[in-house]
Amino acid sequence: MMQPFKPKVKAPNPKELQVIQKILAKYRLTTVCEAAACPNRAECYARQSATFMILGNTCTRSCSFCNVKSGRGERVDSDEPSNLANAIAALNLAYVVVTSVDRDDLDDYGAAHFAACVRAIQQRVPEIKIELLTPDFRLHKPSLDTIIASDVHKLAHNQETVRRLSKSVRPQSDYERSLKVLEYYAKYSHAKIKSSLMVGLGESVAELRESMRELLDVGVRELTIGQYLQPTPKHHCVEKYYESAFFEDIKEEAFAMGFEAVASGALVRSSYFAEELGR
C-alpha cells in the first residue's frame, strides 16, 4: 500500500495571514493559493507573497489534477486591473505572478484583460517585475501577440505532464499546442520563458526527460518540477511519491541539459518562490 505523503510546511503567522487576507478581501481578488489549495499558501502568505488569479475563479476547462472549479466563465470585472494594482502596492511586492483560469468563452480568451492588468500594475508600481503564467489561448496568435506586447519580465505556460498522459490529465488541452505556445513566446518576446511539470501522475522517468528536452528545444529556459498531490478523492490518483533525492537528481539533469534556472522538490509549484528563480 502506498504510504501517504506528509509534507512539512511552516505554520503561518496569524497576524501576517490576517493582513494579507484583509487586503485580498478589500480588493475582491482571487489567489491561486486558495483556489488550487496550494500546499505552500501558508508560507507564502506569511512572507506577504501571492500569485493572483484574474478573470474569475471558474475555469471553462476541467483538468483531472486541478482543484479550481469548472463551469461557465464569470463576468469579466472591469475594475480588476486597478484593484489588482492597488493590492500589489498595499502588499509592497517587488515581484508578482499573474495567472488566470481558462476562458474559452471569450473571443480573445482573456488576453486583453491580462494586458490591462499589466498596464495598471506598471502604472501603480513602475519598478515591479511581472511574471505572466498564461493559458494556451488555443494558440490564437493575436491573443499571444497581445501578451507579448505587454513586455513583462517573464512569460510562463505550464506543460504539466508528459506526452502520453496529457490527454487524460488535461482532456481539453493539447500537449503539442502547449509546446507551440511556449515556442511562440520564445521566438517573439524578450521575456524569460518558463514552464512546469508535475511528477507522480504515472509517468516514467524516461518520459519526463523527453518532456524536459522538448521544452528546452522550443526555447524554455526556466523549469519547475514538483510532486503531484491529489486535492480530493475525485481527482487523478497519485501513482507514485518521489523521494527527495529524485528531485535533486532531476534538477542536476535539467541543468546539464541546458536549463538556466530550475526549481525541483516535492512541494515546488510553478509560482513557488518565483521571484528567486532565474533572477
Whichever domain contains 202, its CATH number is 3.20.20.70
* CA atoms in the 13 A half-sphere facing the CB of 179: 16
The CA R_g of the chain, rounded to the nearest whole Å, is: 18
Whether residue 278 lies inside any domain: the answer is no
pLDDT of residue 46: 64
- Split into its structural domains, the chain has a count of 1
Provide the domain limits for residue 199.
Answer: 14-265
Whether residue 270 lies inside any domain: the answer is no
Whether residue 238 lies inside any domain: the answer is yes
Amino acid identity, position 148: I
- Paired with 223 in beta bridges are 195, 262
Whether residue 203 lies inside any domain: the answer is yes
pLDDT of residue 36: 56
For residue 79, what is the DSSP state? T
Residue 63 burial (CB count, 10 A): 20
pLDDT of residue 174: 96
pLDDT of residue 34: 61
CA angle 28–148–130, rounded 5-degree value:
45
Whether residue 122 lies inside any domain: the answer is yes
Whether residue 96 lies inside any domain: the answer is yes
Whether residue 2 lies inside any domain: the answer is no
pLDDT of residue 145: 98
Whether residue 8 lies inside any domain: the answer is no
pLDDT of residue 12: 55
pLDDT < 70: residue spans in the chain: 1-14, 16-17, 33-49, 273-274, 276, 278-279
Among 49, 52, 133, which Cα is nearest to 92's? Answer: 49
Among 102, 130, 131, which Cα is nearest to 224's? Answer: 131
pLDDT digits (tens, 9 = 90+) for 146-203: 999 999 999 999 999 999 999 999 988 999 999 999 999 999 999 999 999 999 999 9
